[in-house]
Structure 1
Amino acid sequence: MDQDLEQTVKTCEACQQHAKAPSHAPLHPWEWPVQTATTQVTVEKLQVSFAVHGLPDVVLSNNGSCFTSSEFAKFCAARGIVLITSSPYHPSSNGLAERAVQTLKQGLQKIDKGTIQEKLETF
């Protein structure tokens, strides 16, 4: 049934005319804010962010080792932050965060001057 539906959509002229076409962008290597995503570096970057924006009630993250370590759990608990991790190997289960990352990356691409830190601050 799925194949029949897919074939119907592929051959439907109206469907094809109104389909969202992804924009083509040149490949651009990303500058990384950190060289390695260790718990210590993650905590340091979050402390800077929290100093500017305040403490969140909840941190939603993927299952990277820097977020699942006992050190990071203690960091969050000491500040009264609830730590929630998404389902492993299913980025779509973390849709809001994935969309936020996409928005951030698109915003950083539009800022053509400065270091990655300056671009983040501008964004």
Structure 2
Amino acid sequence: MTDPVHMIGMTRAERIAVDDFIRVIGFVDGDGSLVSEVADRFQCRFAYFHGPSGTTHISNAPLADLGITKFSIRDAVTFGFSTSEYLDLLEWERQSSVYIQNEDELTALYDSAIRNDLPYR
């Protein structure tokens, strides 16, 4: 049995702190105001809370430029993605090193045989 005092890795508190480092709040319009709905989740900027400073910021780039792998599942849900969509996007980015650019590309991924070949299905 491993001695917990000598275990290597992050503690639960440290993992939670990392998860709270940046927390997505929601999408914003051109003026930076929060909106409840957007036409294309991949092409919109978003607001996020920066935990260490306690301040709110607006992203400089949309998801199409950032990819989904930088975000937690909590953030993905805030963006309006289902768990399946989040997992598919993570795997797509891992396999292809390409970010989905718009809702049509996500639909095409769902309509393609590629999705059926993802390893966790």
TM-score range, shorter chain: under 0.3
Structure 1 or 2: larger helix share?
Answer: 1
Q: TM-score, normalised by structure 1?
A: 0.22
Structure 1 or 2: larger strand share?
Answer: 2
The structure having more radius of gyration, on CA atoms, is 1
